[in-house]
Structure 1
């Protein structure tokens, strides 16, 4: 591990207690820095901050779900070192590369080494060809005198300014007119039916006559068949709109 000399903070991930103290001392001697310990089965519960270590040493490679986490735990250009790994080195190196590591290699002493890129995960930088070009800043600037511009209001006549009747806007897509087709499902048929009922109600109101002449005084002066029964009193001669359900009353 002489290649890791000078690294200040390392994490040693272990699987068993056999000679653990000896291995930790060897790592301290090789790096000359601090060494923290973590069990491989407890790594998923660990809460180390990002960019915490210069070096992470693992006793085995049974960390399929945690290589990305190790990448975040390493400082930029930090090293990942696997010893006594299990399985084919080629597939393991591929897995480490897909997790974001670079410079992945198999060493001669049955170990694997990889490196975190020299920038923090999630950082960004401006591309060299993304510089602002001052010649393109005024592409949409209009040249010429303001007198040449046309007033938009001059393009409209009085007919264009008139608001259309909302009732005329809804037409049947089949007939092309304000007339419902035979199998209407857009609601136009119901709307036309309601309009017809309102027109009939208005006509019946106009034709409603009082036989006693006291209907305007209120229910106390109205007979049992009075069309104004249940309505408040009103002034003589005042036009009153009868409710549709009153017009259909069987009384």
Structure 2
């Protein structure tokens, strides 16, 4: 145990009381400091304060539930030394590392580990998390000096126009002005009627060729009778009842 020379305060955890005084005296001689003694089965009931020891020596490592407790009891960079342990060293090393110990090493029937050089539960600001005063003020708004925009100025007259209710009717299934295969809301019939009206209007022809001039030039059975004059070739929408009349 010469590697532990100069450590001021140690804890010796024992399981076999035979020659206990001799082993404790050897540890005192090796470290040159004080040595406290605790039984392995009484460790969970002990009330040692955090960061109490520079070194903890365990005679038999059967402490699966207490390695974290030992980590708290050690001072930062304190040492943990185990000997005469039972079971494979690999599984024991894994248990110690998972408890927070570092710099674990294996010797002949011994294991040594170290507590990190900071107190358990301490925190430190990361370098990239430092506050940059100039960066924090980039989006700062002073309030009174800022000119606010009236929301009404963002809308023009076209935005304020109400939509045509006829164009708002859509199929609940397709979400568009397109009827689904099993349409039962009447949209399919409406679209079919509009299609027939448009087709009939495109196919309507004048027998005299003067219908576009107005009622003064139209005959009594003219489908455009009562409608204003229009330009030659202009598409004119006819009512359904007029499309059934003979031209």
TM-score bucket of the superposed structures, by smaller chain? 0.5 to 0.7
Distance across 2 between alignment mates of 1:35 and 1:146: 71
Corresponding position of 1:10: 10
> Could you say if the C-alpha distance between residues 147 and 127 of structure 1 is closer, same or farther in structure 2, counting changes exceeding 3 Å?
closer
Corresponding position of 1:103: 103
Structure 1 spans left out of the alignment, 5+ residues: 156-251
Structure 2 spans left out of the alignment, 5+ residues: 155-247
Corresponding position of 1:87: 87
Structure 2 counterparts to residues 71-220 of structure 1, below 5 A: 71-107=71-107, 109-142=108-141, 146=145, 148-150=147-149
User: When the two structures are superposed, what TM-score results if normalisation uses the length of structure 1?
Assistant: 0.57
SS at match of 1:148: coil
What's the CA shift for 1:116? 0.2
| Number of equivalences | 154
Corresponding position of 1:202: none
Partner deviation per Cα, 1:59-86 (whole Å, 9 max, x = no partner):
1110000000000000000000001011
Corresponding position of 1:37: 37
> Could you say if the C-alpha distance between residues 30 and 140 of structure 1 is closer, same or farther in structure 2, counting changes exceeding 3 Å?
same
Distance across 2 between alignment mates of 1:44 and 1:64: 11
What's the CA shift for 1:93? 0.3
What's the CA shift for 1:56? 0.3
Partner deviation per Cα, 1:142-174 (whole Å, 9 max, x = no partner):
48984732478x99xxxxxxxxxxxxxxxxxxx
SS at match of 2:111: strand
Distance across 2 between alignment mates of 1:147 and 1:60: 73
What's the CA shift for 1:30? 0.2
> Could you say if the C-alpha distance between residues 26 and 98 of structure 1 is closer, same or farther in structure 2, counting changes exceeding 3 Å?
same
What's the CA shift for 1:139? 2.4
Corresponding position of 2:19: 19
Supply the RMSD in Å over aligned alpha carbons.
Answer: 2.3
What's the CA shift for 1:137? 1.4
Corresponding position of 2:177: none
> Could you say if the C-alpha distance between residues 42 and 142 of structure 1 is closer, same or farther in structure 2, counting changes exceeding 3 Å?
closer
**Stretches (4+) displaced over 6 A:** none
SS at match of 1:62: coil
